[in-house]
Amino acid sequence: MHRILVALDGSPESEQILDEVERVGGGQVSIDLLHVLPKNGQEVPNLGLNVEDVAQEYLRKVAARLTKHTVRTFIWRGEPEEEIPRAASHLKVDLIAMTTHARKGLSHLLLGSVAEAVVRNSSTPVLLTRPDVARPRKPLERILVPIDDSAPSREVFGSVRNLVADSGAEVILFQVVVPVLVADPVTGFTPIGIPQPLPDPAPRLEEFARQLARAGLRTRAVVASGDAADQILDHAQSLDADLIAMATAGRKGLSRFVIGSVAEKVVRRMDRPVLLHRIAPKTDAGSQVQEVHAQGTD
């Protein structure tokens, strides 16, 4: 992890991502601070001040707080959901970091829709936190990595290896066995399972953990059963993970474990930072994904 792009909008809420940037990046990472201004408008209303001067002064003050890092500041114009991914590509950063929120009422950069658009539009992994997520200030020690049996879900390990290289954190491989429920043919709404032999994902998950261990990563495997998002959030809490890192397709078409809907549920309900790695489109196109179910098939 050499360079992180931090998207800021001038609010204290957006600056809360800085603690996580320092945690995941360590003392050696370089930080690029980005503020996106609207395309039009040159002066602050009623003050006669140039908005770029105001933005630059704001970024300068934030940069002055990051004394352990090499910091650059950038002001771009346009729509945040377009300019943030474009800046990440242009500046060749390893990670985008920003605060998100799942409800209206805060500035546009904090809205969940913008964060979602950034994840969808960027090939760079995105680290997200919410303004109301408060975590202890301690080094990155434990990363929960939800995966399934598909190769695309494991693409997140490029980002995870970068994090572990800087922190030496433990990697917890986590797989959820998702039950398939159908409507009761009599009542029409009572869910019942379709009894079939249960595929056990543990052997393959443990073998993958051993492969990562041979590559020098501290790993262990954990399997759970139930709703994917619920289990991810519950186990992140019970295992005291400092970070959830997972792949997202950003569109429909893959197993529900890696499609955007699960990632969106996790982000909306997260009580700790989440790193999302968008699956490359070229991988999406040719993948044949099999989902592990506790009972039955779709």
Q: What is the tens place of the pLDDT at every residue in 116-150?
A: 888 888 889 999 998 888 777 788 899 999 998 88
| 147 and 103, same domain (yes or no) | no
| 99 and 171, same domain (yes or no) | no
| 179 in a structural domain | yes
Q: How far apart are CA 298 and CA 295, in angstroms?
A: 10
Identify the bridge partners of residue 73 per DSSP, sorted by sequence position.
33
> Which structural domain, as residue segments, surrounds residue 107?
3-129
What are the two backbone dihedrals, phi and then psi, of residue 72, each rounded to the nearest 5 degrees? -120, 155
**According to the model, what pLDDT value does residue 117 have?**
84
**According to the model, what pLDDT value does residue 41 have?**
63
Of the three residues 69, 97, 129, the one that is the final residue of a domain is 129
Helix extents (H) in the chain: 17-25, 51-65, 80-91, 112-121, 157-167, 202-214, 228-238, 260-269, 281-286
Q: Supply 216's token pair.
A: 């020098």
Q: In sequence order, which residues have a C-beta less than 8 Å from that of residue 134 and are 6 or more positions away? A: none
Contact 130, 99 (CB under 8 A): yes
Contact 182, 194 (CB under 8 A): yes
**According to the model, what pLDDT value does residue 283 have?**
38
| 157 and 237, same domain (yes or no) | yes
pTM of the model: 0.83
Averaged over successive runs of 10 residues, the pLDDT of the chain (298 residues) comes to: 93 91 86 90 59 90 93 94 95 94 54 78 92 81 92 89 86 88 62 62 93 92 93 96 89 44 86 90 39 31
Q: How far apart are CA 44 and CA 142, in angstroms?
A: 44
Q: How far apart are CA 187 and CA 63, in angstroms?
A: 62
Q: What is the tens place of the pLDDT at every residue in 42-88?
A: 655 555 567 888 899 999 999 999 998 999 999 999 999 999 999 99
| 36 in a structural domain | yes
For the chain, count helices (H), then strands (E).
9, 14
SS3 50: strand
| 276 and 164, same domain (yes or no) | yes
- Per-residue buried b or exposed e for 125-138, using 16+ beta carbons within 10 Å of the residue's own CB: bbbbbbbebeeeee
Total structural domains within the chain: 2
| 121 and 148, same domain (yes or no) | no
| 258 in a structural domain | yes
SS3 44: strand
Q: How far apart are CA 260 and CA 109, in angstroms?
A: 20
Q: How far apart are CA 157 and CA 160, in angstroms?
A: 5
| 195 and 98, same domain (yes or no) | no
| 266 and 161, same domain (yes or no) | yes
**According to the model, what pLDDT value does residue 56 have?**
92
Of the three residues 129, 157, 190, the one that is the final residue of a domain is 129
| 69 and 24, same domain (yes or no) | yes
Q: Which one-letter amino acid corresponds to residue 68?
A: K
The H or E element that residue 181 is part of is strand 181-183
CATH of the domain at 178: 3.40.50.620
| 34 and 81, same domain (yes or no) | yes
| 96 and 123, same domain (yes or no) | yes
| 281 and 198, same domain (yes or no) | yes
Contact 96, 118 (CB under 8 A): yes
| 297 in a structural domain | no
| 279 and 149, same domain (yes or no) | yes
Of the three residues 129, 159, 179, the one that is the final residue of a domain is 129
**According to the model, what pLDDT value does residue 52 have?**
86
Q: How far apart are CA 225 and CA 228, in angstroms?
A: 8
**According to the model, what pLDDT value does residue 17 have?**
93
Sign of CA dihedral 82, 83, 87, 88: negative
